[in-house]
Amino acid sequence: PGDVQSILDTFDQWCSLVEFISNIGPKKGKILDRLLQEHCPITVLELGTHCGHSTVRIARSLTIGARIYSVEMDEGNTQSVCCVQVELIVRVSDEVIPRLREDFSVERLDLVFMDHWKRCYLPDLQLLEGSGLLGEGFIILADNVIFPGAPNFLVHRATLEYIQGIRDGMAEITFLGIKSSTGPGLDLV
């Protein structure tokens, strides 16, 4: 009890041996862990809480004072999430993103983890771009961009800067500012 790695391992074993439940899993989870260690985000937006697997993984890596705003549209999926650093928001993402500043006093996002409805990736990214909450060095990590896929999300990124294929199906994006005809854009690595 209370051992975060034990919780994650037990969940992964259950999903592997008993019943598949969609989650980031141990391999792609290491990518998320690396980003959290490298960037030490203070304010994280998680789109798609589901059963809280990624929420737990993110929370264990955050420093004191950091906060996760975890958005899940299905209240039934949120019963297992409970953490001091987590603000659980049970609403659809396109309602939450425009209201982060007003409803939750969010001034800046450092990292967004997208693992919700793939068709929402692009519209939510566009809402984030227009929100005024993205600062230089802001990171987006989007899961399952290859399968089941979020092709419009990837194409949108390609038009702003460049795109590099990622075999594990995740996309890491670094915000360099809103792109003008000659200025920086989002970088997909």
Q: Catalytic amino acids?
A: 115, 118, 143-144, 161
**Amino acid, single-letter form, for residue 11:** F
Backbone φ, ψ for residue 125 (5° rounding) = -60, -40
| No. of helices (H) and no. of strands (E), the chain | 7, 7
* Phi-psi sector, 15: left (phi>0), alpha (psi -120 to 50), beta: alpha
As beta bridge partners, residue 109 has: 134
